[in-house]
Amino acid sequence: GITRHYTFNIKYHNVTRLCHTRSLISVNGQFPGPRLVAREGDRVFVKVVNHVTNNITIHWHGVRQLGSGWADGPAYITQCPIQTGQTYTYNFTVTGQRGTLLWHAHISWLRCTLYGPIIILPKRNESYPFEKPYKEIPITFGEWFNVDQEAVISQALQTGAGPNVSDAYTINGLPGPLYNCSSKDTYRLKVKPGKTYLLRLINAALNDELFFSIANHTLTVVEADAVYVKPFETDKLLITPGQTTNVLLKTKPSFPNATFLMVAKPYVTGRGTFDNSSVAGILQYEQPSHNSSIKNLLLLKPTLPALNDTNFVANFTRKFRSLANAQFTATVPQTVDRKFFFTMGLGTMPCPQNTTCGGPTNSTKFIASVNNVSFVLPSVAMLQAHFFGKSNGVYTTDFPTKPPVPFNYTGTPPNNTNVSNGTRALVLQFNTSVELVMQDTSILGSESHPLHLHGFNFFVVGQGFGNYDPNKDPANFNLVDPVERNTVGVPAGGWLAIRFLADNPGVWFMHCHLDVHTSWGLKMAWIVLDGPQPNQKLPPPPSDLPKC
Which residues here bind ligand C2O, judged by CB under 6 A?
59, 61, 74, 104, 106, 242, 452, 454, 509, 511, 513
Chain-centroid distance, C-alpha 163:
19
Secondary structure string (H, E, C) spanning 499-515:
EEEECCCEEEEEEECCH
| Nearer of residues 409 and 508 to ligand C2O, judged by Cβ | 508
| Nearer of residues 104 and 386 to ligand C2O, judged by Cβ | 104
Q: How far is the CB of 207 from ligand C2O (least distance, A)?
A: 13
Q: How far is the CB of 380 from ligand C2O (least distance, A)?
A: 18
Q: Is the peptide bond before 546 cis (omega within 30 degrees of 0)?
A: no
| Nearer of residues 424 and 454 to ligand C2O, judged by Cβ | 454
| Nearer of residues 103 and 468 to ligand C2O, judged by Cβ | 103
Q: How far apart are CA 491 and CA 314, in angstroms?
A: 7
410: exposed, middle or buried (Cβ count in 10 Å: 0-12, 13-18, 19+): exposed
Total residues belonging to the chain: 548
Q: How far is the CB of 181 from ligand C2O (least distance, A)?
A: 30
Q: Which residues contact 341 (CB under 8 A, 6 or more apart)?
A: 401, 402, 403, 407, 436, 437, 439, 468, 470
| Nearer of residues 365 and 523 to ligand C2O, judged by Cβ | 523
| Nearer of residues 349 and 528 to ligand C2O, judged by Cβ | 528
Q: How far apart are CA 286 and CA 273, in angstroms?
A: 40
Q: How far is the CB of 161 from ligand C2O (least distance, A)?
A: 24
Residue 338 pairs in a beta bridge with: 434
Return the half-sphere exposure (C-beta side, CA atoms, 13 A cut-off) of residue 101: 27
| Nearer of residues 17 and 511 to ligand C2O, judged by Cβ | 511
Q: How far is the CB of 411 from ligand C2O (least distance, A)?
A: 33
Q: How far is the CB of 169 from ligand C2O (least distance, A)?
A: 18
Q: How far is the CB of 234 from ligand C2O (least distance, A)?
A: 24
Tell me the residue number closest to ligand C2O, measured at CB.
61
Nearest Cα neighbor of 172 from 282, 272, 63 is 282
Q: How far is the CB of 513 from ligand C2O (least distance, A)?
A: 6
Secondary structure string (H, E, C) spanning 18-86:
CCEEEEEEEECCECCCCCEEEECCCEEEEEEEECCCCCECEEEECCCCCCCHHHCCCECCCECCECCCC
| Nearer of residues 61 and 449 to ligand C2O, judged by Cβ | 61
Q: How far is the CB of 249 from ligand C2O (least distance, A)?
A: 25
| Nearer of residues 436 and 444 to ligand C2O, judged by Cβ | 436
Nearest Cα neighbor of 265 from 234, 235, 306, 225 is 306
Task: Provide Rg for the chain, Cα atoms.
Answer: 23
